[in-house]
Structure 1
Amino acid sequence: MTETKVRQQYNQMAATYDQRWSSYVSSTLLFLQSWADISPTATVLDVACGTGEFERLLLADNSQQKIVGVDISEKMLAIAREKCHVPNVSFYTAPASALPFADNSFDAIVCASSFHYFDKPNTALLEMKRVLKPHGRVVILDWCKDYLLCRICDWVLPIFDSAYKQCYTQAEFHSLLTSAGYKISRTTKVRFGVVWGLMVATASVEPSE
């Protein structure tokens, strides 16, 4: 299973992840924080939260922000808990396709640089929709296949990385969101350095007829 491979891979790299990917993580998550513009009173869910860097950024601005992070790597989460040892932040071991929360639990949901590993992207989007409060927002930042070097990565990575699933063009990504019942309110593509071309979208749930 892809999920098992991803867990094993990130458990192995957890101890060196922050140092190895410091520049990428810092630049992309600072961008995400600015883009998402999360209310200080919002209850936030971070899907595939990794080592808790986004939680750390939010807490630096608002030490009382209520945040829940989920990830399938226990060792990544152990590092996240060390960084964010405060009562208003909690972490759970869970996949994006089976979130262990009640319906309508979160005001804002974020997911950064993880969508290309999701074995069941449609299920993950439906799960995020289920736990999102009415009028809440989902913000997803991920690699964009519209960029040449990301297309090359998409071709090459499966050879070396058995956990990798695929990245999407912006049009494909938007189609996944709308098919899952989201209304996209804001979106763009953005480049980080020479290699990394990403896309971000803010979406909400379409109101019931």
Structure 2
Amino acid sequence: MRRTSLKNDHENPVQKEYAQLAQKYDDKWRFYVEETLLETLKRVEIHAGERLLDVGCGTGALLEAIDKLCPDAVLSGIDPTQEMLDIAGKRLPKKIYIAQSWASNLPFETETFDVVVFCSMFHYIRDPIIALKEVTRVLKPAGRIVITDWCDDYITCQLCDLFLRAFNKAHFRTYKKRECHHFLLSSGFDDIKIDSYKINWFWGMMTATARKKALVK
């Protein structure tokens, strides 16, 4: 396990927003979370004994669902906001390791995980290539990545993105399928597949899956 020095910084817009939202997050976003988790779980291949990392695990809903589907998998999660992790710690069994960290500096040794998942947090990442190369580092050869996030190919998400860029400092930007494909290819992944879909009239989503190239270090 590598050490990180991340602490709560309520001047950071992401940590500030989710520190305030943590207690009501699950109720406020219940429909969205349930639907995006279902789509993500359809594409997560996890087997007994394999190690999975949830990047931006929030209150632990995805980890809880994966633990029920595959209780013999070894699960971990990171999130930058301690208040969200406090809730995750109460809902998840003690065997699941959670830690406060940014995606760009994961507190794990090289080639630790078989699967890494991002669910609804990619639009907060300031430099996707740096984050994905860090994921490449912690994935085993041929390890899998799953990314579910808003899809900028939909006009509703384009409008939402423009609004949030103007009025929400925590938000960074949404991406099109071709941009996500480029990020993954540039970060050492192949076998890239990206599905786009809507979970209701407003939310246009995409889920990308890929594998770390066997020779990437």
The residue aligned with 1:155 is 162
Query: Counterparts of 1:137-156 in structure 2 under 5 Å?
Result: 137-156=144-163
Query: Counterparts of 1:1-209 in structure 2 under 5 Å?
Result: 4-87=12-95, 89-208=96-215
Could you tell me how far apart the structure 2 residues matched to 1:66 and 1:130 are? Answer: 18
Structure 1 residue runs without a partner (length 5+) = none
SS at match of 1:25: helix
SS at match of 1:199: strand
Report if aligned partners of 1:184, 1:201 keep a CA contact under 8 Å in 2: no
Name the Cα RMSD after superposition.
1.5
SS at match of 1:122: helix
SS at match of 1:98: coil
Q: Structure 1 residue 63: deviation in Å?
A: 2.7
Q: Structure 1 residue 115: deviation in Å?
A: 0.5
When normalised by structure 2's length, the TM-score is 0.91
The residue aligned with 2:3 is none
When normalised by structure 1's length, the TM-score is 0.95
Percentage identity across aligned positions? 36
Structure 2 residue runs without a partner (length 5+) = 1-8
Could you tell me how far apart the structure 1 residues matched to 2:147 and 2:60 are? Answer: 16
Could you tell me how far apart the structure 2 residues matched to 1:174 and 1:81 are? Answer: 34
Q: Structure 1 residue 159: deviation in Å?
A: 2.1
